[in-house]
């Protein structure tokens, strides 16, 4: 019997546990994701509207990042690695605190969008991102299609646009920039459905396998938070109206 059949048998053995585990996990995931997005929005807006703090991150003369700005920008990568590799050893409390710190740093790092783009275009892009995310989340939750293979393809495509972005950092091609942005929107739209389905399936077996639901909510929230933020930023490349 293959692994997929074993999983199906496991999930069908206790419908009550399936519903309880899935609902508990998804409820926690979306709650933590919402909290993280609010924290990021508040911290971003706070830095953007306080010139003294903003200048600590962005050099007012060159317009580039300061030393502290680079630390703020790169630190979230380290925190994601800490969450991923420290998941088994860390308790729920430290995981939650790291996730909160991560959302603060992401917000601070994105503070420049309030200076570059108009508030109206930011609000519109956020709204469209939320609607798109919501539709794909529902799709991922309700579809009977196994998205595992699609997820693998999209992850490979994501690696491709990361490499292309690094190359375009050197070549400054406007055409490639828009191709990357379009691909980014498509990839993170698809990844949203894939990740929601993955979290749903995890919830189905979490209680039966004795997994820590509270810790899983943090990792699930981190995944969907990154999907949403990246979808928003790639859409902003198309829809953002720059301040004059």
Span between the terminal Cα atoms of the chain, in Å: 64
For 128-179, what is each residue's pLDDT tens digit? 999 999 999 999 999 988 898 888 888 899 899 999 988 888 888 888 888 9
User: Which of 92, 102, 84, 95 minimizes the C-alpha distance to 40?
Assistant: 102
Tell how far CA 187 is from the center of its chain: 12
Residue 128's pLDDT is 95
* 72-79 CB contacts, 8 Å cutoff, 24+ apart: 72/105, 72/108, 72/109, 73/109, 75/105, 76/102, 76/105, 76/106, 76/109, 79/105
Vertex 238 angle, CA 232 and 244, to 5°: 105
Q: Please, how many CA atoms are within 13 Å of residue 62, restricted to the half-sphere of its CB?
A: 9
Residue 124's pLDDT is 94
The residues facing 117 across adjacent strands are 242
CB 215 within 8 A of CB 28: no
Residue 90's pLDDT is 92
For 86-124, what is each residue's pLDDT tens digit? 988 999 999 999 999 999 999 999 999 999 999 999 999
Higher pLDDT, 1 or 181: 181
Provide the residue ranges of all domains of the chain, joining segments of one domain with +. 16-239
Q: Please, how many CA atoms are within 13 Å of residue 161, restricted to the half-sphere of its CB?
A: 19
Confidence label for 243 from pLDDT (cuts 50, 70 and 90): confident
Q: Mean of the pLDDT values across residues 172-194? A: 91
pTM of the model: 0.87
User: Which of 151, 194, 206 minimizes the C-alpha distance to 28?
Assistant: 206
Distance CA 101, CA 108 (A): 11
Confidence label for 5 from pLDDT (cuts 50, 70 and 90): very low
Residue 217's pLDDT is 94
**Which has the minimum average pLDDT: 40-49, 154-163, 168-177, 217-226?**
168-177
Confidence label for 7 from pLDDT (cuts 50, 70 and 90): very low
Residue 15's pLDDT is 47
Cα separation values, 44 from 53, 64, 100, 234, Å = 11, 17, 14, 18
Burial of 59-89, coded b for 16+ CB within 10 Å and e otherwise, reads eeeeeebeeebeebbebbeebeebbeeeeee
Tell how far CA 60 is from the center of its chain: 29
């Amino acid at each position: 019997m293959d692994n997929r059949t074993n999983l199906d048998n496991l999930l069908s053995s206790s419908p009550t546990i399936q519903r309880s585990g899935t609902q508990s996990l998804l409820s926690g995931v979306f709650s933590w994701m919402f909290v993280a997005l609010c924290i990021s929005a508040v911290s971003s807006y706070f830095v953007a509207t306080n010139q003294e703090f903003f200048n600590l991150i962005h050099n007012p003369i060159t317009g580039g990042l300061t030393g502290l700005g680079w630390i703020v920008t790169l630190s979230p990568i380290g925190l994601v690695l800490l969450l991923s590799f420290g998941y088994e050893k860390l308790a729920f409390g430290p995981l939650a605190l790291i996730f909160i710190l991560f959302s603060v740093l992401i917000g601070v790092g994105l503070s420049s969008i309030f200076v570059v783009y108009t508030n109206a275009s930011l609000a519109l892009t956020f709204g469209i991102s939320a609607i798109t995310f919501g539709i794909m989340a529902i799709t991922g939750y309700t579809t009977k299609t196994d998205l595992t293979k699609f997820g693998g393809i999209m992850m490979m495509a994501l690696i491709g646009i990361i490499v292309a972005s690094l190359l375009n950092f050197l070549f400054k091609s406007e055409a490639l920039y828009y191709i990357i942005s379009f691909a980014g929107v498509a990839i993170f739209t698809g990844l949203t459905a894939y990740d929601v389905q993955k979290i749903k399936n995890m919830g189905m077996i979490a209680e039966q396998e004795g997994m820590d639901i509270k810790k899983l909510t943090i990792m699930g929230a981190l995944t969907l938070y990154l999907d949403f933020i990246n979808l928003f930023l790639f859409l902003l490349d198309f829809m953002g109206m720059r301040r004059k």
